[in-house]
Amino acid sequence: MKEQSLCNENWQRVTSRVQDACKKAGRLRTSVHVVGITKYVDISRTLAIYNAGCRALGESRPQAFWDKAAAFASGGIQVQWHLIGHLQRNKVAKTMSYSPVIQTIDSVRLAKEVSRVTASSSTVCEGFIEVNLSQQSERSGVVLESLTDVVAQILVLPGIRICGLMGMASHPETGREPRREFAHLRELRDVLNEKFPEAGGLPELSMGMSGDFEEAILEGSTMVRIGSALFDGLD
């Protein structure tokens, strides 16, 4: 089927580009996870990219995430889901029932709600603190001025394990260099590691999308979130 073979080819191409970038960076291929972002595609294409080999999938909107996660679960298909879009507190409980990694923890209030929900089910949520690297107020994520304070308050919450930081480079129109912004996120992570040694390290850096993942890998990304490049050629 055309859809499956295109997804197979795209998956091969993307993972070999990841491999090349790792080599160029002097890093092991296994140090970078690929999360396939399926927010643009229907369930059939989501399944096709899964079948191509992409076992970690990310969705942006909670409703679409619930629908897909329910469909995969009812088919008995194991996926590590990631939520990569803004999560409202009233959607936390339903979202957590599918145990995704929450990449978009952007406030203490949200983290407290996640902690409350996991406490009631004796589970632990893995999460990333989303950082607003662009300094533009319309973008999401914790602003730089409050990052240390927000991280300090979230790290003490039970039932939530912060694995690292997530960030997005600015739109190209702003004239900012993605690579500089990725380096900045890595530096922020390193500073936080020194400040909060008891956190056990924040090993992960979720940064890099279809247009800039090679640069992100050169700057230390451990998790690239790739959407459109996986669905090239499918209209």
Ligand X SMILES: *Cc1c(COP(=O)(O)O)cnc(C)c1O
User: Of 115, 123, 116, 119, nearest to 98 (Cα)?
Assistant: 123
Residue 109 Cβ, how far from ligand X at the closest point, in Å?
20
- Confirm or reject binding of residue 227 to ligand X (CB under 6 A): yes
Return the number of the residue (159 or 225) whose C-beta is nearest ligand X: 225
Q: Give the CA distances from residue 26 to residues 19, 31, 188, 190, 212, in Å, rounded to whole numbers and listed in that order.
A: 10, 11, 22, 19, 18
Dihedral in degrees, nearest 10, Cα atoms 192, 96, 87, 173: 60
- Confirm or reject binding of residue 54 to ligand X (CB under 6 A): no
Residue 17 Cβ, how far from ligand X at the closest point, in Å?
12
- Cα of first residue to Cα of last residue in the chain, in angstroms, is 15
- Confirm or reject binding of residue 60 to ligand X (CB under 6 A): yes
Rg of the chain taking only CA atoms, in angstroms:
17
- Confirm or reject binding of residue 84 to ligand X (CB under 6 A): yes
**Which one of 209, 216, 217, 218 is in contact with ligand X (CB under 6 A)?**
209
- Confirm or reject binding of residue 18 to ligand X (CB under 6 A): no
**Which one of 39, 86, 139, 176 is in contact with ligand X (CB under 6 A)?**
39
For 3, the token pair is 């859809």
Ramachandran region, residue 182 (left: φ > 0; alpha: ψ -120 to 50; beta: rest): alpha
Return the number of the residue (53 or 200) whose C-beta is nearest ligand X: 53
Contact residues for ligand X, defined by CB under 6 A: 37, 39, 60, 84, 168, 209-211, 225-229
